[in-house]
Structure 1
Amino acid sequence: MSFPRQLTSVQSISLSELCQQYGTPLYVYDGEIIRRQVARLQEAFSGLDMHIKYACKANTNLAIMRLLRSLGVGVDVVSMGELHMAAQAGYGPGEITFTPSGVPFEEVKEAVEAGAVVNVDSLALLEWFGETYGSEKPCLIRLKPNVAAGGNIKIMTGHRDSKFGISVDLLDKILEIVERYSLKIIGLHQHTGSDIKEASAFLQASEVIFEAARHFPDLQIIDLGGGFKVAYKPDDEVTDMAHLGAEISKGFQKFCQSYGRNLQLWFEPGKFLVSESGYLLVQATVVKEDPARTFVHVDSGLNHLIRPMMYGSYHHILNVSNPEGNPSTYNVVGYICETDTFATDRTMPEVRPGDLLAFLNAGAYGFTMSSNYNARFRPAEVLIDQEKAALIRRRETMDDLLRSQLDLA
Structure 2
Amino acid sequence: MIHSNKNQLCINDIPLESLAEEYETPLYVYDMDLMHDNLNVIRDAIAYRPLSLHFACMANNNIALLKELSSLQVNIFVCTPGELIIAQTAGFKPNQIVVTGCNFSDSEITQMATSGITLIVNSLQQLLEFTHRKEVKKLGLRISPNIVLPSETINPAVGVKSRVGLPEHEVEKAVCTAEKLNVLINGVHMYIGTNILHHAYFTEAIRTALRVNALRQPAKKQVY
Scaled by the length of structure 1, what TM-score is found? 0.50
Q: Show the counterpart of 1:158.
A: 158
Q: Could you tell me which residue of structure 1 aligns to residue 172 of structure 2?
A: 172
Question: Equivalents in 1 of 2:134, 2:145: separation in Å?
Answer: 27
Kindly state the Cα deviation for residue 67 of structure 1 after the two structures are TM-superposed.
0.9
**8 A contact 1:57–1:78 mirrored in 2:** yes
- When residues 32 and 158 of structure 1 are mapped into structure 2, their CA distance, relative to the original with a 3 A threshold, is farther
Q: Which amino acid letter does the alignment assign opposite residue 145 of structure 1? A: P
2:36 matched residue in structure 1: 35
More strand by share: 1
Task: After TM superposition, list the pairs within 5 Å mapping 1:8-407 onto structure 2.
Answer: 8-133=9-134, 136-149=136-149, 152-216=152-216, 217-223=218-224
Q: 1:131 to 1:25 in 2, by over 3 A?
A: closer
CA–CA distance in structure 2, aligned partners of residues 107 and 203 of structure 1: 34
Cα offset for 1:3?
Answer: 8.8
User: Is contact 1:102-1:121 (8 Å) kept?
Assistant: no
Q: Secondary structure at the match of 1:50?
A: coil
- Judged with a 3 Å threshold, the aligned counterparts in structure 2 of structure 1 residues 4 and 16 are, in CA distance, closer, same or farther, namely closer
Does the aligned pair in 2 maintain the 1:157–1:164 contact within 8 Å?
yes
Q: CA deviation at 1:192?
A: 1.1
Shift of 1:128: 2.0
Is the 2:95–2:118 Cα contact (8 Å) retained in structure 1?
Answer: yes
Amino acid corresponding to residue 184 of structure 2 in structure 1? K
The structure having more radius of gyration, on CA atoms, is 1
User: What code does the residue aligned with 2:173 have?
Assistant: K
- For residue 95 of structure 2, give the secondary structure of its aligned residue in structure 1: helix
Q: Is the 8 A contact 1:100 1:121 kept in 2?
A: yes
> Do 1:158 and 1:190's aligned partners in 2 also have CA atoms closer than 8 Å?
no
What's the CA shift string for 1:368-404, capped at 9, x where partnerless?
A: xxxxxxxxxxxxxxxxxxxxxxxxxxxxxxxxxxxxx
**CA deviation string 1:87-127 (max 9, x = no partner):** 11111111111111232243122112122111111110112
> Aligned partners of 1:23 and 1:150: how far apart in 2?
42
Which residue identity does 1:133 align to in structure 2?
K
CA distance in structure 1 between the aligned counterparts of 2:8 and 2:195, rounded to whole angstroms:
25
Amino acid at match of 1:91: F
Amino acid paired to 2:129: W
SS at match of 2:187: strand
Residues in 2 aligned to 1:194 and 1:116: alpha-carbon distance in whole angstroms: 26
Q: Which structure is higher in helix share?
A: 2
Q: CA deviation at 1:143?
A: 0.8
For structure 2, list consecutive stretches of 5 or more residues without a partner in the other structure.
Answer: none
Shift of 1:221: 1.1
8 A contact 2:160–2:167 mirrored in 1 = yes
Q: CA deviation at 1:174?
A: 1.4
Quick one: distance in 2 between partners of 1:3 and 1:169? 48
What TM-score do the two structures reach when normalised by structure 2? 0.88
Amino acid at match of 1:193: G
Change (3 A) 1:114 1:17: same
Residue type at the aligned position of 1:26? L
Counterpart residue type for residue 214 of structure 2? R
Secondary structure, counterpart of 1:155 in structure 2: coil
- Retained in 1: the 8 A contact 2:121–2:127? yes
Matched residue count: 221
Q: SS state of the match for residue 29, structure 2?
A: strand
CA distance in structure 2 between the partners assigned to 1:171 and 1:60 by the alignment:
32
Residues 247-268 of structure 1: per-residue CA shift (max 9 Å, x gap): xxxxxxxxxxxxxxxxxxxxxx
Assess if the C-alpha contact under 8 Å between 1:99 and 1:120 holds in 2.
yes
